[in-house]
Amino acid sequence: MGWFDPVLLVGIVVRELALFAAIGFLLGGLDDLAIDLIWILLTLWRRATVYSRHPRADAATLAPPERPGRLAIFVAAWQEDAVIGGMVANALARLDHPDWRLYVGCYPNDPATIAAIERAAGGDAHVRIVVGDAPGPTTKAGCLNWIWQAMCRDEIETGPIKAIVLHDAEDIVHADELTLYDALIERFALVQIPVHPLIVPGVGVSGALISGQNSRMA
C-alpha cells in the first residue's frame, strides 16, 4: 500500500479518540469523587462535633417555628394524568400542617391531566389548578412561572407565602415534610430533604418519596 496505510490510520485515530475519551471520563470521575469526599468529610465532622453533643432531631422533637406561615407546593404537570391524581390524593390525605396550598400547573391542551387533578382534589381548597395561557409542551420553568404568578395574585388576597416547596407529579409526599420546612426555613435560605426511589410493582417506573425543596423565605 506504499506510504498510505488506511488500516494503520484508522488505528491511530481510534487510539487518539479513546485516549481523549479516557481523559474525559477521568476528569468526570474526579469531579464526582470530590463531591463524595466533601460529603464524607462533612458527615464525619457532624458526627464528631454535633451529634456527639446533641441528639438527632426529627419532626417530633424539632423546635416549632417561631413564625408559622403558609407553605406553597409547586407541581408542573404535562401529560401526567397517570400519576398526578395519586400525588394530589396522597398529599391531601397525608400532609400534617395547618396552612398549605398545592399549586399544579397545567396546559390548556392537556384536559386529561386537568380532569385527573379535579377528580383527586374533589373541590378541596388546598388544591389550586393553574392553567397556562400557551399550549404544551413548553418548559418546566415556563410552567413554574405561571404557578408563581398565580401564587403572587393569591398573596394579595390571603397574605404572604412563607416558603415554596417543589415537587414532581409522581412524588409521594411525607406527612411531616411541611413541618420540617416550616421550622428550618427560618434558619436557612433553602432546605432539601432526601429522595428515596420507590419501585411500583407491575409498572416499571419509580416514584419519589420525601422529595422537595423550599426555594425562598418570605
Residues 45 and 126 in one domain: no
**pLDDT given at position 109:** 97
User: To which residue does cell 422537595 refer?
Assistant: 212
Amino acid at 37: L
**pLDDT given at position 215:** 42
**pLDDT given at position 217:** 42
Q: Which domain holds residue 35?
A: 1-56
List the one residue out of 123, 87, 81 whose CA is nearest residue 106. 81
Residues 113 and 43 in one domain: no
- Torsion sign, CA atoms 154, 156, 157, 160: positive
Going across the sheet that includes 171-172, the strands are 171-172, 206-209, 196-199
Q: Is 160 exposed, middle or buried (0-12, 13-18, 19+ CB in 10 A)?
A: exposed
Residue 190 lies in a domain: yes
**pLDDT given at position 101:** 98
Residues 197 and 133 in one domain: yes
Residues 88 and 18 in one domain: no
**CATH code at 210?**
3.90.550.10
The values of phi and psi at residue 173, to 5°, are -75, 155
**pLDDT given at position 210:** 39
List the one residue out of 182, 160, 218 whose CA is nearest residue 66. 182
Residues 50 and 138 in one domain: no
Whole-structure pTM over 0.85, yes or no? no
**pLDDT given at position 27:** 83
Q: How many distinct structural domains can be found in the chain?
A: 2
Residue-level pLDDT, tens digit, the chain, 218 residues: 556 677 778 888 888 888 888 888 888 888 889 999 999 999 999 999 988 888 888 888 888 899 999 999 999 999 999 999 999 999 999 999 999 999 999 999 999 999 999 999 999 999 999 999 999 999 999 999 999 999 999 999 999 999 999 999 999 999 999 999 999 999 999 998 888 887 767 655 444 433 444 444 43
Residues 107 and 187 in one domain: yes
Contacts of 106 (CB under 8 A, 6+ apart): 77, 78, 113, 114, 117, 129, 130, 131, 132
Residues 183 and 105 in one domain: yes
Residues 49 and 99 in one domain: no
